[in-house]
Amino acid sequence: MITAGFIGLGAMGHPMAGHLHRHGLLSAVWNRSGEKADAFARAHERVERPDSPAALAEMVEVILVCVSADDDLRKVIADLEPGLRPGKIVVDHSTVAPATARELAERLAILDVAFVDAPVTGGVEGAKNGQLAIMAGGDADAFARLDNICAAYAKAWRHLGPAGAGQSAKAVNQLIVAGIAEAVCEGLAVVEKLGLPRDEMLELLGGGAAGNWFLEKRGRTMLADSFETGFAPKLLLKDLRICASLLDELDFESSVLPNALDDYARLVEAGETGKDISALIRSKR
C-alpha cells in the first residue's frame, strides 16, 4: 500500500489528511505552523511529525501539498528536494497558475520525481465529507497510481492532460464559481429589499432552475449575515487573478470576470472579515 505524507493543514488540508489517516494511508504531516502539525499527530495514531518537508519526503512514497499561493508552493518544493528520490510522487492540491505547475514539473523531472498538479473543488464541506472533485494534470502514470489516495477524500478524479492542465481546469471552475456567487448574492440582496419571506424564497429558488450548490450551502447563512465557514474572499481574488492571466493568454474576453474581480478586490480592500465569499452580499445590499 502506498504511504503518504501531507503538507499544509489548513481548512482544506486538515480534513483531507484526516481521511487519509482513516484509510490507513497517512504516515506523516508537516505544517508551516508547527503547532498544527503537532496537534494533528497527537490526535491521530501512528502519524509522525517530522521536523522538515525534506524529512517527510524521505519517509513516504507520495507527498501531498495543499498551500495557499504560488510562492508558498515553490518554497515547499525547494524544502522537499533534499529528501526526494527517483520514483517518488509530489501531488499539489493547491490552486496556483498553470505556468507554476509546468515550472515545478520540469524542476522535479530533473530528479526523476513525478509531479501531478491536482487542485480540488467542493469547498470546506467537500473536504470534511470526503466529497471533493480532483482536476489533475501532469504525469499520467503517476496519477494512475493514486486511486486509493483520491478515493479517501474525493468523489471524482480525472486526469486532464500535461502539467498545468489541472490548474487550467481549476481556473475554469473558479470563473463559474465567481459568476454564480455574483448572481446569488445579488438575487438574495433583492429578496431582502423586496421584503419577500426568506425561508419560502430559499425553498422555491433552490427547487427550481435557479438552484445551485452555492445557493443551497450559503443562502441561509448569507441571509443570517453569517460568514464564518467557507472559502475566504482573498483566496478567490487570488484565483480570479490567475484566471485573468490565463484568459489574457487566450485573448478571451469574459463578461463575468471583470465584475467579479472588481467586487472581490473592493471587498478585500475594505477589510472584510467574513471567511466565505458569500460575504459579497454585504456590498450588494
pLDDT digits (tens, 9 = 90+) for 19-76: 999 999 999 999 999 999 999 999 999 999 999 999 999 999 999 999 999 999 999 9
Pair 255, 153 in one domain? no
CA distances from 16 to 64, 68, 165, 217, 257 (A): 10, 15, 22, 20, 30
Q: What is the CATH number of the domain that holds 176?
A: 1.10.1040.10
Instruction: State which residues form the domain around 96.
Output: 4-162
- Mean pLDDT, rounded, of the chain: 97
Full-model pTM: 0.95
Pair 88, 156 in one domain? yes
Say which residue the cell 499561493 belongs to. 69
Q: What is the CATH number of the domain that holds 51?
A: 3.40.50.720
Boundary residue ending a domain (119, 139, 162) = 162
Pair 197, 249 in one domain? yes
Is 3 in contact with 62 (CB distance < 8 Å)?
yes
Pair 200, 238 in one domain? yes
Pair 119, 260 in one domain? no
Pair 102, 199 in one domain? no
Pair 235, 130 in one domain? no
Is 174 in contact with 239 (CB distance < 8 Å)?
yes
Q: Is 155 a catalytic residue?
A: no
Q: Which candidate in 36, 88, 128, 170 is catalytic?
A: 170
Pair 128, 256 in one domain? no
Which residues lie below 8 Å from residue 43, measured CB to CB, with a gap of 6+? none
Q: Which amino acid is at 149?
A: I
Whole-number Å distance between alpha carbons of 36 and 33: 6
**What per-residue confidence (pLDDT) applies to 1?**
77
**What per-residue confidence (pLDDT) applies to 84?**
98
Is 83 in contact with 108 (CB distance < 8 Å)?
no
End-to-end CA distance of the chain: give it in Å, rounded. Answer: 53
Q: Could you give the number of structural domains in the chain?
A: 2
